[in-house]
Structure formats: structure tokens, C-alpha cells
Amino acid sequence: MKTVILAGGLGTRLAEYTQSIPKPMVEIGGKPILQHIMQIYSDFGHKDFVVALGYKGEVIKEFFLNLKALQSDLEIDLSSGSMHYLKESHLDWKVRLVETGEHSMTGGRIKRLTDHLGSSPFMATYGDGVADINIDRLLDFHKKHGKLATITAVRPPARFGELEIGEGGKVESFLEKPQIGAGWINGGFFVFEPEVLSFIEGDQTILEKEPLERLAREGHLMTYQHEGFWMPMDTVRDRNALESKVKSGEAPWIRAQ
């Protein structure tokens, strides 16, 4: 099963990083968040990726062209220019890098991938959010309900610490909650049957509007509720919070190897 990663957005709220690189290439713990997301799927055996490129897509292409060499031990003969691997990287991913237009919307990017997806179900997610989601359970849920589409619902992360204030303004407790307790939002991590592509009109179609709204109206959309960790990288604050989790060894989306 192929996994689509939407990696073409502008990332305007991360402008101090995204002036020179696309948002999915912003690093967390020394690796682009794109690589973290792909590793989530790879940990469950899903290693066939289609990356939808847009803004500064050439940076993502260069990254994958060089990734194997950068993660391997090499011997290079500078006189002849020949190179061979002494110890190769363990990564065994297949990655298709497809230009989907700099200004295409999320639905339009997926529509442009039609020729690369074939007639089989596929997974899809955004190139800027991580979760400790169990992909096996997500797929089992999708297969059992028999509908055209599954969207993963998540609890939004708390943006600020919670204060309990006592008499005279004294802080009785401070709690930096990882998730708030109420409400569900779209967390990505979709599973789609190929028929979903027919619900997308063209480049300017926003996946989260007409396609998903119509799928819901017609009874084709189901929700997988993920109660665990999920966090997007929308702002510099988010990026720094994710970086802190990696450095502290408490990054829930990174599975023990």
C-alpha cells in the first residue's frame, strides 16, 4: 500500500526556516520532520511513499538523492571519481517525488498523483505532524467498516500551560498538559479507497472542504479516534517543543528500535 505525504505547502508561520527550505524539511533532532513522519509508517512495514512536492520541491529531491550516501560508510577514489559503499544505510524505502504545483491545494495535490496510485487503497497524511499512531490498527479499522475513507481524529495539543490560581493570585499548580481533554480535530493519517479521487475536482480543490464534506454527507467517511500523542509543527514554538521532546528522549512518535 502506498503512502502519500503532502509536502508542498508554504509554511508561512515558520518563515524564519521556510524562506530557504520547505516546511517538511525543517529539522527536529537533526532530521527533517518529513523523515520522522515516513519512519512512523516504515515502523509498521509501509515503505512505499509518494511525496507530493510544491514549494521548493528541489530541496526535498536533493535530500533523498543524497540520503543513502550520507547515512552510509563510503570509499571514494578522488582520482577516478569512483565510489562504493563500505557499510550501507539500512533504509529500504521506495520514494516517488512528484511535482504537484507550487500553488495547488491539498486535494489538488492528491488528484495529481492519480497515475502513481493505481487502483488500490492508499494512505495519506500531512508533511508537518507526528503521532504515536498504530498504523496496523488504523488499517484494520478502515478495512472493517468498508467505507471509502477514514480520517484520524485527534485531541488538539494544549498551546499553553494550565494555571490553578489560589487566593491573592498565588499559583497553586502549573501543568503543561500534552493534550486537552475535550473535542476532536482532523489529524491527517487518512486511508482512502481509489474512488475518493473522483471526489476531487482539480488543483484548487481543498481536500478538507468539498471532498471530505461530500464523503461525509454521502456516508462514506469514517473516523478513527486516536487518543494518544499528536502534534503538528505549525509555528516556531511547536518546532521547539518537538525538538525538546527528541532531546529529552521523550518523543512518543519514535518507536524503540
Per-residue burial over 139-174, b = 16 or more CB atoms within 10 Å of its CB, e = otherwise: bebbeeeeebbbbbbbbeeeeeeeeeeeeeeeeeee
Nearest CA-CA partner of 113 in 222, 192, 172, 167: 192
Contact 18, 64 (CB under 8 A): no
Query: Which pLDDT score, from 0 to 100, does residue 209 have?
Result: 92
Tell me, what's the pLDDT at 192? 97
How do strand 48-53 and strand 31-32 relate by DSSP bridges? unpaired
Burial pattern 82-115, b for ≥16 Cβ within 10 A else e, equals eeeeeeeeeeebebebbebbeebbbbbbbbbbee
Give the separation between CA 198 and CA 24, rounded to whole angstroms: 27
Nearest to 195 by CA among 88, 118, 99: 118
Question: What pLDDT does residue 155 have?
Answer: 86
Contact 148, 29 (CB under 8 A): no
Q: What one-character-per-residue DSSP string does 129-169 give?
A: EEE---HHHHHHHHHHH--SEEEEEEPPPPSS-EEEE-GGG
Using alpha carbons, list the distances in angstroms from residue 75 to 61, 71, 80, 232, 245. Answer: 24, 13, 12, 39, 35
pLDDT, position 54: 95
Q: pLDDT digit of tens for each residue in the chain (257 aa)?
A: 999 999 998 877 887 878 889 999 999 999 999 999 999 999 999 999 999 999 999 999 999 999 988 888 989 999 998 988 888 888 899 999 999 999 999 999 999 999 999 899 999 999 999 999 999 999 999 999 999 999 999 988 766 555 555 666 555 555 555 555 557 889 999 999 999 999 999 999 999 999 999 999 999 999 999 999 999 999 999 999 999 999 999 999 998 75
Q: How far apart are CA 149 and CA 146, in angstroms?
A: 9
Q: At 179, list the grid cell.
A: 493534550
* pLDDT score for 203: 95
- Domains, in order of start, for the chain: 2-247 (3.90.550.10)
Among the listed residues 147, 152, 94, the one whose alpha carbon sits nearest the alpha carbon of residue 121: 147
Tell me what pLDDT residue 49 has. Answer: 98
The answer to whether the beta carbons of residues 101 and 112 sit under 8 Å apart is yes
Q: pTM score, two decimals?
A: 0.88
Q: What is the pLDDT of residue 163?
A: 52
Report d(CA 35, CA 91) in Å as an integer: 11
DSSP state of 25: G
**Residue 20: CA atoms inside 13 Å, Cβ hemisphere, count?**
4
Specify the pLDDT at position 181: 54
Distance CA 225, CA 227 (A): 6
